[in-house]
Structure 1
Amino acid sequence: MDVPADDDPFEAQRERASNPMRRLFDEYGRERSGTFAVGVAASVFARVLDLLPPLMLGIAVDAIFLNESEFSLPLVPDRWLPTDPETQFWLVVGIVLFSFLGGAVLHWFRNWGWNRFAQYVQHAIRTDTYDAMQRLNMTFFADKQTGEMMSVLSNDVNRLERFLNDGLNSAFRLGVMVVGIAALLFWMNWQLAIVALLPVPLIALFTYQFVKTIQPKYADVRSTVGQVNSRLENNLGGIQVIKTSNTESYEADRVEEVSGDYFDANWGAIETRIKFFPGLRVLAGLGFALTFTIGGLWVFRGEGPWLFTGTLRPGEFVTFILYSQRFIWPMAQFGQIINMYQRAYASAARVFGLMDEDAGIEERPDAAELVVDDGRVDYDDVTFGYGDETILDGVSFTAEGGDTVALVGPTGAGKSTALKLLLRMYDVDDGAIRVDGQDVRDVTLASLRDTIGYVSQETFLFYGTVRENITYGAFEASDEDVVAAAKAAEAHEFVTNLPDGYDTMVGERGVKLSGGQRQRLAIARAMLRDPDILILDEATSDVDTETEMLIQRSLDRLTADRTTFVIAHRLSTVKDADQIVVLDDGEVVERGSHEDLLATDGLYASLWSVQAGEIDDLPAEFVERATDRGARAETDGATTDQ
Structure 2
Amino acid sequence: MRTIQDIVRYLRIYRRYIGRRMYLVFVLTVATALAQGFGITLLLPLLQASQTTSGSPENMSTAERLLQDLLQWMGIADSMTGILGFIAVVFIGKGLLQFANGGYQGYLQSRLLRELKRKLFDAYQRMDYRYYIERNTGHFINVINQQVNLFFSSFSSFASFLTQVVTTISYFAFAFAITWKFSLMAIGVGLILFGLFRRLNVYVRELSRKRSSEMSQLNKLLVQGLQSFKYIASTNQGGHLRSGVTESIRRLTHYIFRQRIAGAFTSALKEPFSVLLIVGLIAIQVTVFEAPVAPIFVALLLFHRGMQALISMQSGFQAMMDRAGAVEMVDDEFKEVQHHQEPQGEHRLAPLESSISFENATFSYDESEGPVLRDINLTIPANTTVAFVGESGAGKSTLVDLVTCMLKPQEGKLLIDGTPSNEIDLASWRSQIGYVSQETVVFDDTIANNICLWAGDIEEDEALRERVQDAARRAHADHFIQDLPDGYQTTVGDRGVRLSGGQRQRLFIARELFKQPNLLILDEATSALDTESERYIQDSIDALKGEMTVLIIAHRLSTIKNVDRVYVMEEGQVVEAGSYEDLRYRDESRFRSMVEMQSL
TM-score category by the smaller chain?
0.7 to 0.9
The secondary structure found in structure 2 opposite 1:512 is coil
* Corresponding residue number in structure 2 for 1:118: 109
Code of the aligned partner of 2:317: I
Instruction: Determine if the alignment matches structure 1 residue 430 to structure 2 residue 403.
Output: no
User: Which of 131, 154, 161 is matched with 2:122 structurally?
Assistant: 131
Number of residues of Structure 1 aligned to a counterpart in Structure 2? 575
* Corresponding residue number in structure 1 for 2:17: 28
* Corresponding residue number in structure 1 for 2:443: 462
Instruction: Determine if the alignment matches structure 1 residue 589 to structure 2 residue 555.
Output: no
CA–CA distance in structure 1, aligned partners of residues 174 and 11 of structure 2: 33
Percent identical: 27
* Corresponding residue number in structure 2 for 1:312: 292
CA–CA distance in structure 2, aligned partners of residues 335 and 467 of structure 1: 56
Q: Report the Cα offset of residue 24 of structure 1.
A: 2.9
CA–CA distance in structure 2, aligned partners of residues 126 and 74 of structure 1: 54
Q: Report the Cα offset of residue 189 of structure 1.
A: 1.0
Instruction: Determine if the alignment matches structure 1 residue 251 to structure 2 residue 259.
Output: no
Q: Aligned in 2, Cα 1:321/1:381: closer, same or farther, shift over 3 Å?
A: same
Measured against aligned partners, the alpha-carbon deviations of 1:379-421 in whole angstroms (never above 9, x if no partner) come to: 2222111112311111222222222111111111110000110
CA contact (8 A) 1:44 1:172 kept: no
Q: Report the Cα offset of residue 507 of structure 1.
A: 2.1
Q: Report the Cα offset of residue 430 of structure 1.
A: 1.4
Q: Report the Cα offset of residue 125 of structure 1.
A: 1.8
CA contact (8 A) 2:151 2:323 kept: yes
The secondary structure found in structure 2 opposite 1:76 is helix
CA contact (8 A) 2:208 2:326 kept: no
CA–CA distance in structure 2, aligned partners of residues 546 and 380 of structure 1: 40
CA–CA distance in structure 1, aligned partners of residues 500 and 177 of structure 2: 79
CA–CA distance in structure 2, aligned partners of residues 281 and 558 of structure 1: 79
Instruction: Determine if the alignment matches structure 1 residue 179 to structure 2 residue 169.
Output: yes
Instruction: Determine if the alignment matches structure 1 residue 348 to structure 2 residue 330.
Output: no
* Corresponding residue number in structure 2 for 1:612: 599
CA–CA distance in structure 2, aligned partners of residues 495 and 255 of structure 1: 39
User: Which of 76, 82, 86 is matched with 1:95 structurally?
Assistant: 86
For normalisation by structure 1, the TM-score amounts to 0.82
Write out aligned runs for 1:167-316 (5 A).
167-267=157-257, 269-270=259-260, 284=274, 286-295=276-285, 298=286, 305-306=287-288, 308=289, 311-313=291-293, 315-316=294-295
My pick for the range that moved more, 263-272 or 226-235, is 263-272
CA–CA distance in structure 2, aligned partners of residues 328 and 564 of structure 1: 75
* Corresponding residue number in structure 2 for 1:516: 502
* Corresponding residue number in structure 1 for 2:360: 381
Instruction: Determine if the alignment matches structure 1 residue 576 to structure 2 residue 562.
Output: yes
Measured against aligned partners, the alpha-carbon deviations of 1:336-366 in whole angstroms (never above 9, x if no partner) come to: 23223334543333223222333263123xx
Q: Report the Cα offset of residue 259 of structure 1.
A: 1.6
Q: Report the Cα offset of residue 58 of structure 1.
A: 4.2
CA–CA distance in structure 1, aligned partners of residues 365 and 154 of structure 2: 40
Q: Aligned in 2, Cα 1:320/1:408: closer, same or farther, shift over 3 Å?
A: same
Instruction: Determine if the alignment matches structure 1 residue 78 to structure 2 residue 64.
Output: no
CA–CA distance in structure 1, aligned partners of residues 409 and 179 of structure 2: 76
* Corresponding residue number in structure 2 for 1:15: none
CA contact (8 A) 1:288 1:324 kept: yes
Code of the aligned partner of 2:241: E
* Corresponding residue number in structure 2 for 1:471: 452
My pick for the range that moved more, 112-121 or 283-292, is 283-292
Code of the aligned partner of 2:165: G
My pick for the range that moved more, 564-573 or 369-378, is 369-378
Write out aligned runs for 1:534-553 (5 A).
534-553=520-539
My pick for the range that moved more, 351-360 or 128-137, is 351-360
Q: Aligned in 2, Cα 1:473/1:80: closer, same or farther, shift over 3 Å?
A: closer
Write out aligned runs for 1:340-419 (5 A).
340-357=319-336, 358-359=339-340, 361-364=342-345, 367-372=346-351, 374-388=353-367, 389=369, 390-419=371-400
CA–CA distance in structure 2, aligned partners of residues 23 and 603 of structure 1: 62
User: Which of 135, 139, 161 is matched with 1:144 structurally?
Assistant: 135
Q: Report the Cα offset of residue 424 of structure 1.
A: 0.8
CA–CA distance in structure 1, aligned partners of residues 230 and 280 of structure 2: 67
Code of the aligned partner of 2:438: Q
Code of the aligned partner of 2:594: L
CA–CA distance in structure 1, aligned partners of residues 106 and 495 of structure 2: 35
My pick for the range that moved more, 515-524 or 262-271, is 262-271
Measured against aligned partners, the alpha-carbon deviations of 1:581-619 in whole angstroms (never above 9, x if no partner) come to: 111111112222222222234332232233229xxxxxx
Write out aligned runs for 1:442-521 (5 A).
442-472=423-453, 478-521=464-507
CA contact (8 A) 2:161 2:314 kept: no
CA–CA distance in structure 2, aligned partners of residues 528 and 151 of structure 1: 34
CA contact (8 A) 1:38 1:109 kept: no
Q: Aligned in 2, Cα 1:170/1:139: closer, same or farther, shift over 3 Å?
A: same
User: Which of 63, 77, 95 is matched with 2:49 structurally?
Assistant: 63
CA contact (8 A) 1:440 1:448 kept: no
CA contact (8 A) 1:409 1:569 kept: yes
CA–CA distance in structure 2, aligned partners of residues 280 and 344 of structure 1: 22
Q: Aligned in 2, Cα 1:230/1:21: closer, same or farther, shift over 3 Å?
A: same
Code of the aligned partner of 2:464: S
CA contact (8 A) 2:505 2:528 kept: no
For normalisation by structure 2, the TM-score amounts to 0.88
CA–CA distance in structure 2, aligned partners of residues 145 and 455 of structure 1: 22
Q: Report the Cα offset of residue 74 of structure 1.
A: 5.6
The secondary structure found in structure 2 opposite 1:412 is coil
CA–CA distance in structure 1, aligned partners of residues 504 and 446 of structure 2: 12
CA–CA distance in structure 1, aligned partners of residues 247 and 503 of structure 2: 39
Q: Report the Cα offset of residue 444 of structure 1.
A: 1.0
The secondary structure found in structure 2 opposite 1:402 is coil
CA–CA distance in structure 2, aligned partners of residues 168 and 65 of structure 1: 44
